[in-house]
Structure 1
Amino acid sequence: MLRRAQHAQSELRPDMEQFARGVLTMTVRSHVLLVDDDELTLQMLEATLEADFKVSQVSSGAEALSRCDSDPPDLIVLDVDMPEMDGYETCRRLKDNFSTADIPVIFHSARTSIDERLQGYAAGGADYLPKPFDAPELLAKINLVLAHRDRQRELSGQLDEVMNAVLSSADMVGEAGVVLEFQRALVGCADNAAVARAILDALHRYSLDGCVRIRGGGEVYSGNARGPCSALENSILDHLQAQTEGQRIRPFGHHTGFSYDRVVLFVRDLRMDRGADMDRAESERMGRAIDNVALLVEGAVQRVGALESLVATRDLADVRHLVSMTRNALTDISARNQAQQREVKQVFDSLNAEVENSFLHLGLTQSQEDHLSSIIKQHLEAALAVLGKSQEVEAFLGRVIHKLGQAAN
């Protein structure tokens, strides 16, 4: 029988041989484990396969499990009818073990009914070979199964790459969402402290921590996620703020600083110096984080500038209101002054008329009458001069209001 097996191997049908040899170029020296309790069958199988494969053999299911743990083969040709543990149970245990679950199994049995084949399929087998075996068919089945395994591994690798890309894209979408949420939060920030809290909240969503200083509107706020900055943090921010030239984003060991005029930010454990000790995924995450934090800082700069404009606008509105109130008050004062001048003149005119009427009864000489009239006119001119000085003050205030109005517009 051994000679017949060797002879059958040498007389492979041309079509099957061509196919088998073609596939062999991909699986040269793959390791095939033969499992059978019949020594002669093992010899025949080994004689058929040893020219193209590394072949090892065991005579029981328990030995097969042990061998696969210590030296996993690329494929197993497994007898179904064995004592103690048959081929189906052996295969099930292989598939239940994570380290051996991917090893393909070809069942070898004289029982080839559909029920037997279904049992082999349920146990996790890749193919079913009838006894006695045909050498070309055995080679073809082995190479087909190995080719299918290689293709599955290739597809699995591609799937891993796709899944990594999907997860990376999902991370990017989530990270972009943090930036968008931050931009929305900025709209409600009414002062520098609120802008700082928005930045620190966004950093927390990126699983980052740090401290920030914001200058604007004549005010300075420095803080971290827990409250005001420590002395050491303030010294770090001072150093960043002093670096007015060069890059806006700078490495500080395993940390990164962002200096954007109104906003200075220090972020812990955000590395710019990503070296060989960091894997690719982490390096890409760090790179995206730096870009996203830069977007946060730029958004904060814009909001602080907008807050300064709002303050300036409110101040200008206050000035305009003050100018308007002062102009109205000055107009009222001017009207009152003019009214007082008319009243004073009327009083003195009335006094002068009464005095002149009394001259007839007093029996005064002409010189005495002229002297009294002169005294009354002198006091009238003095009173009007005093009122005239208030008009000078009124004119000065008018010029000041005009200049304030020009500045407000």
Structure 2
Amino acid sequence: MKAGKVLIVDDAADNRMLLGALLDSDYDTAEAENGEQCLEMLESYQPDLILLDVSMPGISGYDTCVALRKRAATATTPVIFVSAKDSPEERLEGFEAGADDYLTKPIDGNTLLSKVKHHIQLTLDKKAAMQQSQEAMNVAMEAMTSSSELGQIIQFVKEVQSISDVSGLAAAVMSVASQFGLNACVMVDSESPFLLGCGNDSMEARVMLKFRDSGQRVTHLGIRTIIHSSPITLLIKNMPAGDEARYGRLKDHLAVLADIASDRGKGILTEVMMREQRKEFLKQIIQLAEDNIQKTSDEIRV
């Protein structure tokens, strides 16, 4: 396997042939006769290093190098000038144009190979460092995102005990899902199921009712995920199926969210049932008192 790709730019065919012969055993090489052709070739050819003559017809090597540095694709591609001009002024102009190195003709083969290898390796090291830095940044960002999401779950835990009805509970679950960037529907399974985020006769409502009765806890349907933790059923309509890491993280967060909401939901339904029982008990007592009053009144009249 070749160690990289080198573009040789020189108007002299014999110079291109010589440089190609020196490099062919270790590198894939391509040739351009002048600066214009070099810039045109870069639309489809992406070299790891460019050997560039200074004196060429049309635009000079210096101007070609300046143009290379203005292009995003070649802004950091190593450029080595190969020129018969060896004055300090010529070298300085080459480096000012953006070159990484400067070789003079006639070329020493060992020096050429050493320079090419050195600059390509530097480029590979920079790319590896940038990739590692990007990966580290991605990990850090994911950790920060996960921390933020967990913070929202913790805040939900703190606030959920103060919620006293199923509509407030459903709204709180929807709010957390929205903070996650998710489009959700929530069903609280009471005597008459309470729905938020969809209509009673909607497709989403029918899916949640069907899933509730299936006994399954979690089901994934592409970008849709349904989580059931009685009495809560949560339907997410835009899960990030193309982002495996975020998908898995959100799925876990939502399962925890559903469980926390479920515990409070059971408490709310129990409280509702007890209130209804108290109402019924009071009605019975009132009815008994009224019956006794009526009975007493009847006895007095007799």
- Please report the TM-score for the alignment, with normalisation by the length of structure 2: 0.77
Cα distance in 2, alignment partners of residues 213 and 96 from structure 1:
57
Cα distance in 1, alignment partners of residues 42 and 205 from structure 2:
62
Percent identity (aligned): 29
Query: Which position in structure 1 is the counterpart of 2:283?
Result: none
Query: Which position in structure 2 is the counterpart of 1:295?
Result: 256
CA 1:283 to 1:46, structure 2 compared with 1: closer, same or farther past 3 Å? closer
Contact kept, 8 Å, 1:197 with 1:225, in 2: the verdict is no
Cα distance in 1, alignment partners of residues 13 and 70 from structure 2:
28
CA 1:176 to 1:115, structure 2 compared with 1: closer, same or farther past 3 Å? farther
Cα distance in 1, alignment partners of residues 221 and 29 from structure 2:
59
Matches within 5 A, 1:21-40: 27-28=2-3, 30-40=4-14
Unaligned runs of 5+ in 2: 280-302
Contact kept, 8 Å, 1:192 with 1:220, in 2: the verdict is no
Structure 1 position 90, deviation (Å)? 0.5
Query: Which position in structure 1 is the counterpart of 2:132?
Result: 158
**Aligned partner letter, 2:244:** S
Cα distance in 2, alignment partners of residues 52 and 171 from structure 1:
45
- Please report the TM-score for the alignment, with normalisation by the length of structure 1: 0.59
Alpha-carbon RMSD across the aligned residues, in angstroms, is 3.4
Contact kept, 8 Å, 2:2 with 2:28, in 1: the verdict is no
Contact kept, 8 Å, 1:213 with 1:220, in 2: the verdict is no
Question: What's the CA shift string for 1:282-339, capped at 9, x where partnerless?
Answer: 1222222211111111111222344456668989999xxxxxxxxxxxxxxxxxxxxx
* Structure with greater Cα Rg: 1
Query: Which position in structure 2 is the counterpart of 1:212?
Result: 186
CA 1:253 to 1:112, structure 2 compared with 1: closer, same or farther past 3 Å? closer
1:68 aligns with 2:42: yes
Contact kept, 8 Å, 2:188 with 2:195, in 1: the verdict is no
Matches within 5 A, 1:249-260: 249-252=218-221, 254-260=223-229
Structure 1 position 199, deviation (Å)? 0.8
Cα distance in 1, alignment partners of residues 231 and 67 from structure 2:
67
**Aligned partner letter, 1:78:** L
Matches within 5 A, 1:103-252: 103-112=77-86, 116-215=90-189, 220-225=192-197, 229-244=200-215, 247-252=216-221
Matches within 5 A, 1:20-59: 27-28=2-3, 30-59=4-33
Query: Which position in structure 2 is the counterpart of 1:5?
Result: none
Structure 1 position 252, deviation (Å)? 4.8
Query: Larger % of helix: which?
Result: 1
CA 1:250 to 1:128, structure 2 compared with 1: closer, same or farther past 3 Å? same
Cα distance in 1, alignment partners of residues 27 and 220 from structure 2:
56
CA 1:121 to 1:181, structure 2 compared with 1: closer, same or farther past 3 Å? farther
**Aligned partner letter, 1:169:** A
Structure 1 position 201, deviation (Å)? 1.6
